[in-house]
A and B are shown apart, each in its own frame.
Chain A
Amino acid sequence: MRILEQVGPRRGTWLTFGAYLRSFDWLLFLAALAVSGFGLAMIYSATHADPGQGASLHYVRAQSIGLALGIVVAIVLSLIDYERYARWHKFIYAGMILLLVLTLIVGEGRSGAHRWIALPFFEVQSAEVSKVLIVVTLAAFLADGVELRNRFRFVLLAVGYVVIPIILVYLEPDLGTALVFAAVLMSMFLVWGIHWRHAVVLATAGALGALTVLRALPAMGVQVLKDYQLQRLMVFLNPEHDTSGWGYQLTQSRIAVASGMYTGKGFMEGTQTHLNFLPEHHTDFIFSVIGEELGFLGAMILLGLYLIMVWRMLRIAGRANSLYGSLIAAGVAGILVFQVFVNVGMTIGIMPVTGVPLPFVSFGSSSLVVFWMAVGILESVQVRSTIAGYSAGRVPLRR
């Protein structure tokens, strides 16, 4: 069977099925699959006894469909050459901005928020989709301007590139995703090789900006953050003294996690979860269920799986045959780490409530499919880097 074939006017190769399978990063794929399975099980545990949804499998079924869709999309994306996105990145970026603006206009959501776009068969949470879009476009923007990375004006331009979608998702309002975008920018800057002076300036500006938004502007009577957002942000410092629902939620979440002790109360045995002391137990607070039912041990296994994924992603970033691929990998790793840290941190009281789902685990098809899309794109980077490395004689394709 033909493995590689030289074709076309330019120096390129044809990828055969066998080479694809051999160069595929199975560890990343299997870790993502394991975490997704973990998530399905926990969603089942958290929701099977919930009242009012008719079938006890309602959430699990929806999430399974999302998972299946996500895997199919991932495989398709792994076959598509990721370099194509770089060529189209301006259009993709424009499309993303359009999508976000459209969401603000026709989007649907609870209590005045605009988060969902209704498609004929399903609804899409545009902010989730934009996470993967910002990764492929920002990576292209930075890779194109790599020669300019010592120019602060270019750095500022890159910041502006991200600030526009940040403002749009913030208006939805979706503070969590806005912060995810910031995390993407930081991760890529790091791998891109931002000058350390620029990094210091940006970090200082960011800190000052946060202070302004949280303290100075409210003092002057300008509310950038809505009251409830501010309250959610600050409540984790003192949940017991909060009278809004968030203090209760955080206190109950902490009780749930901590009462799991070493090995947990057992799968489907969490009292905090099943007696409804813990609302939102299948979405943002799914980690509380894991902590309660599977204990420290279960939490360590999950975190271990995440760590494996991050390691594989950084490995892909290091071995990519283009800066573009490397930056994509860094961006995806940044999203994963940021969301895991913020989400888990929220349930155990060390991070504010920002409404970020736990990757691959929290209920929600949009988020699940988007993370699988990211896995697919990284597999594409991995496959192509491996084969390019082989064709350049650097890496043996067969071990």
Chain B
Amino acid sequence: MVYLEPAKKHRPPSEDPSTGIRLGVFLGIVVVLFGIIVFRLWFLQVLSGDHYVSLANDNRVRTVSLEAPRGVVKDRDGEVLVENRAGLSVGVLPMDLKNGSDVLARLAGVLDVPYEDIKAKVDKAKQQDPYRVVVLAEDVSETPTVAYLKEHSLEFPGVRVQKSYLRSYPRGPFAAHILGYVGEISEDELNEERFRTLSAGAQVGKGGVESSYDSFLRGIDGRRQIEVDADGRPKQLLETDNPIPGNNLILTIDSQLQEAAEQAIVEGIERAHAGDFEEADAGVVVAMDPRTGEIMAMTSYPDYDPSVWVGGISEKNYEMLNDPAAKNPLFNRAANGLYPAASTFKTFVAATALREGLVGWDTLANCTGRYTVSDQMLRCWNIDGHGEVNLVEAIMESCDVFFYQLGEIFFQQEGPVLQEGVRRFGFGQTSGIDLPGESRGRVPDKDWKRQFGETDELKIWTPGDDVNLCIGQGYLLVTPLQLAVAYSAVANKGKVLVPHLGRQITDPSGSIIHEFQTEVRGELDLAGDTYAALYKGLEMVTSDPLGTAHEAWKGFPIAVAGKTGTAEKLPDDDYAWFVGYAPIDNPEIVVVALIEKGGHGSNVAAPVVRRVMEAYFRTGDTGLGDIEATE
């Protein structure tokens, strides 16, 4: 029990009437203060709660992209040409980047990349989507780089090391131009419809079939949602969408033939060097099935190893790939190189002349080795002259004078008869091959000259222009691929086919989900005896002792038809062409060969085609010897 003292001194406040008022004021202040809090809580929690819930989720949920492996590219027999290997990439999650510039500066040092580059990349990504990892370096070595980053992870908040798939090329530079390469999607590409579902940082095909079949090869990335704490440490897996791997691409390429073609070019260049054309330094082979349009081999020399692109190409390598002094190894001469077709073009000129009824196969012309057009003296390659030749012999011997005369006849025709005739074979247009950025070439005519002639004089179409076109020179430009398509059309009796490299698409388990069919783009519509005349002439090129490529095909067990060409491309040395197909009665393969600055088609390009044919028909070495140049 406690003693209670009485209240004292003055009246207790309970008896003071003003106490009530003052306590009322006090209570009023309390109510106002609590009211402010209640109102504010109501505003935050009830009115804007949704917004803050998403902020809270942004805080805690990280989406990690799970890269889908790209499909594999194989040759027609299933040999793997492009596959994937596992690599490590280093990136940054902008929103977890604290003291960003310090971390990035340190990271730039570790990765050995310029600080400004990664800073710019991260700043841009931060504005777009701070919750996605920006990859700053691909194919980073495990030791010492990744090991260092892991060891010092506290100094690198927001830096992420991820596993990624990198392209791998088991055969190095083999078929490099066909395969193409893969790289990070560019800003322009991001706006393209076909990449609609992708976001910055995605890897897409950039060249070759990697680009044209990108939508098949590319898988669909998965994602994993992870709950993280304030330091970005993962706490809990919330959700996983598994990645869907890309489909595989089976090419029409026959690796054995491709290899033979690549070796044949090297040998062809050596042959050119031996024959006093020491500047020969580049070449093309295209082998096509004239029945289906399948490209069995396509090679452009010089080539390069596409693995230089993996993980981002260095500036030095990029310059090397595009160095004109090194003959632009990146450049695919087969589909993009533009050349005068030279004498290989005579076949189409002859076909057009026959079709238009301007000459018959037996129309004779007298070749004295020279010919005058508009007061200009032109020579036949054989300065001694071929004497009296008909159309078939003119093809066989590649007589220029015969075709000069045709040129003058064409000039007298109304309308561009010659141009329309040769365009039917596919010249002056893209072939439609499944490669990006193919060249159109050019079949010059009156309109073209009027539009592009640099002086008034050069705007006028002259007889000389038709004459030059008839021997595949002048303003004519073709790609080796166009020649292959055109000769295939001759060989298959009239079908202009769309050449293609894709044969099948298979899903990751290997079952075929799409097969590419033969596509006919046009018909030549030539008469039967026209084919007969052309076939005869082309066959005699190799079989007749007077044929320009007789020596090059001596001893070859299968009858081959073909045409030589020696293109003048001043100031360079002549370019050597040969186009052949075999077997002559039922052609299965058309081969085009070109050696830049290689000299004569007959002794430099024809042997290249012969090597490819040897591989195709599996004849082994058929005893190709030294050859005397004709054309």
Number of B residues with CB within 8 Å of any CB on chain A: 51
Is the C-beta of A45 less than 8 angstroms from some C-beta in chain B? no
Question: Are A272 and B14 touching (Cβ within 8 A)?
Answer: no
Note all chain A residues with C-beta closer than 8 A to B228.
275
Question: Are B27 and A314 touching (Cβ within 8 A)?
Answer: yes
Query: Closest CB-CB distance, B348 to chain A, in whole Å?
Result: 73
In the complex, A81 Cα to B8 Cα: how many Å?
13
Question: Are B4 and A258 touching (Cβ within 8 A)?
Answer: no
Q: Which of A14, A299, A310, A341 contacts B4 (CB 8 A)?
A: A14
Is the C-beta of B46 less than 8 angstroms from some C-beta in chain A? yes
Note all chain A residues with C-beta closer than 8 A to B41.
257, 291, 296, 299-300, 348
Note all chain A residues with C-beta closer than 8 A to B40.
345, 348-350
Q: Which of A259, A276, A322, A389 contacts B56 (CB 8 A)?
A: A259
Note all chain B residues with C-beta closer than 8 A to A370.
none
Note all chain B residues with C-beta closer than 8 A to A296.
41-42, 45-46
Q: Which of B9, B14, B25, B37 contacts A190 (CB 8 A)?
A: B25
Note all chain B residues with C-beta closer than 8 A to A306.
34
Is the C-beta of B6 less than 8 angstroms from some C-beta in chain A? yes
Is the C-beta of B2 less than 8 angstroms from some C-beta in chain A? yes
Question: Are A146 and B10 touching (Cβ within 8 A)?
Answer: yes
Chain B CB within 10 A, most for which of A10, A12, A271? A271
Query: Closest CB-CB distance, A195 to chain B, in whole Å?
Result: 12
Is the C-beta of B36 less than 8 angstroms from some C-beta in chain A? yes
Question: Are A191 and B45 touching (Cβ within 8 A)?
Answer: no
Note all chain B residues with C-beta closer than 8 A to A345.
36-37, 40
Known A258-B45, A260-B49, A321-B14; contact A388-B30, beta-carbon cutoff 8 A? no
In the complex, A143 Cα to B13 Cα: how many Å?
11
Question: Are B56 and A318 touching (Cβ within 8 A)?
Answer: no
Is the C-beta of A377 less than 8 angstroms from some C-beta in chain B? no
Query: Closest CB-CB distance, A62 to chain B, in whole Å?
Result: 24
Question: Are B26 and A326 touching (Cβ within 8 A)?
Answer: no
Q: Nearest residue in B to A277 (C-beta to C-beta)?
A: B230
Known A272-B56, A277-B60, A388-B6; contact A261-B19, beta-carbon cutoff 8 A? no
Known A12-B4, A191-B23; contact A261-B53, beta-carbon cutoff 8 A? yes
Question: Are A318 and B45 touching (Cβ within 8 A)?
Answer: no
In the complex, A344 Cα to B53 Cα: how many Å?
20
Question: Are A258 and B49 touching (Cβ within 8 A)?
Answer: yes
Is the C-beta of B59 less than 8 angstroms from some C-beta in chain A? yes
Is the C-beta of B44 less than 8 angstroms from some C-beta in chain A? yes
Contact with A along B1-26 (1 / 0, CB 8 A): 11111111110111000111011011
Q: Nearest residue in B to A51 (C-beta to C-beta)?
A: B229
Note all chain A residues with C-beta closer than 8 A to B457.
none
Q: Which of A255, A258, A387, A394 contacts B59 (CB 8 A)?
A: A255
Chain B residues numbered 35-61 whose CB sits less than 8 Å from any CB in chain A: 36-38, 40-42, 44-46, 48-53, 55-57, 59-60
Is the C-beta of B235 less than 8 angstroms from some C-beta in chain A? yes
Q: Nearest residue in A to B47 (C-beta to C-beta)?
A: A258
In the complex, A385 Cα to B33 Cα: how many Å?
29
Is the C-beta of A254 less than 8 angstroms from some C-beta in chain B? yes
Question: Are B56 and A255 touching (Cβ within 8 A)?
Answer: yes
Query: Closest CB-CB distance, B21 to chain A, in whole Å?
Result: 9
Contact with B along A253-273 (1 / 0, CB 8 A): 011111111100000000110
Known A193-B18, A337-B33, A341-B37; contact A12-B5, beta-carbon cutoff 8 A? yes
Is the C-beta of A187 less than 8 angstroms from some C-beta in chain B? yes
Query: Closest CB-CB distance, B238 to chain A, in whole Å?
Result: 11
Is the C-beta of A162 less than 8 angstroms from some C-beta in chain B? no
Is the C-beta of B227 less than 8 angstroms from some C-beta in chain A? yes
Known A296-B42, A348-B41; contact A10-B6, beta-carbon cutoff 8 A? yes
Question: Are A258 and B52 touching (Cβ within 8 A)?
Answer: yes
Note all chain A residues with C-beta closer than 8 A to B375.
none
In the complex, A291 Cα to B27 Cα: how many Å?
25
Known A191-B19, A300-B38, A341-B33; contact A257-B13, beta-carbon cutoff 8 A? no
Question: Are A262 and B45 touching (Cβ within 8 A)?
Answer: yes
Note all chain B residues with C-beta closer than 8 A to A16.
1
Question: Are B14 and A257 touching (Cβ within 8 A)?
Answer: no
Note all chain B residues with C-beta closer than 8 A to A262.
45-46, 49
In the complex, A257 Cα to B10 Cα: how many Å?
49
Is the C-beta of B231 less than 8 angstroms from some C-beta in chain A? yes
Question: Are B227 and A330 touching (Cβ within 8 A)?
Answer: no
In the complex, A83 Cα to B6 Cα: how many Å?
10
Q: Nearest residue in A to B52 (C-beta to C-beta)?
A: A258
Known A12-B5, A385-B14; contact A275-B229, beta-carbon cutoff 8 A? yes
Is the C-beta of A231 less than 8 angstroms from some C-beta in chain B? no
Question: Are B26 and A190 touching (Cβ within 8 A)?
Answer: yes
In the complex, A305 Cα to B229 Cα: how many Å?
33
Question: Are A15 and B55 touching (Cβ within 8 A)?
Answer: no
Q: Which of B7, B9, B45, B227 contacts A299 (CB 8 A)?
A: B45
Chain A residues numbered 340-399 whose CB sits less than 8 Å from any CB in chain B: 340-341, 344-345, 348-350, 384-385, 387-389, 394
Chain B CB within 10 A, most for which of A275, A300, A387? A275
Is the C-beta of A79 less than 8 angstroms from some C-beta in chain B? yes
In the complex, A275 Cα to B234 Cα: how many Å?
10
Note all chain A residues with C-beta closer than 8 A to B23.
191, 314, 317-318, 330
Note all chain A residues with C-beta closer than 8 A to B36.
341, 345, 350
Known A385-B14, A388-B4; contact A259-B52, beta-carbon cutoff 8 A? yes
Query: Closest CB-CB distance, A301 to chain B, in whole Å?
Result: 12
Note all chain B residues with C-beta closer than 8 A to A191.
13, 19, 22-23, 26
Query: Closest CB-CB distance, A277 to chain B, in whole Å?
Result: 5
A sample of 8 more A-B contacts (CB under 8 A), given A10-B5, A317-B19, A330-B26, is A7-B3, A10-B6, A258-B53, A262-B46, A275-B59, A277-B230, A320-B14, A350-B40
Ordered by A's residue number, 16 sampled pairs between the chains whose C-beta atoms are within 8 Å are A12-B6, A83-B5, A272-B56, A275-B227, A275-B228, A276-B230, A291-B41, A303-B34, A306-B34, A314-B26, A318-B14, A321-B12, A323-B12, A333-B26, A341-B34, A341-B36
Q: Which 7 A-B pairs have the closest CB atoms?
A: A258-B52, A261-B49, A258-B44, A259-B56, A276-B230, A275-B229, A326-B13
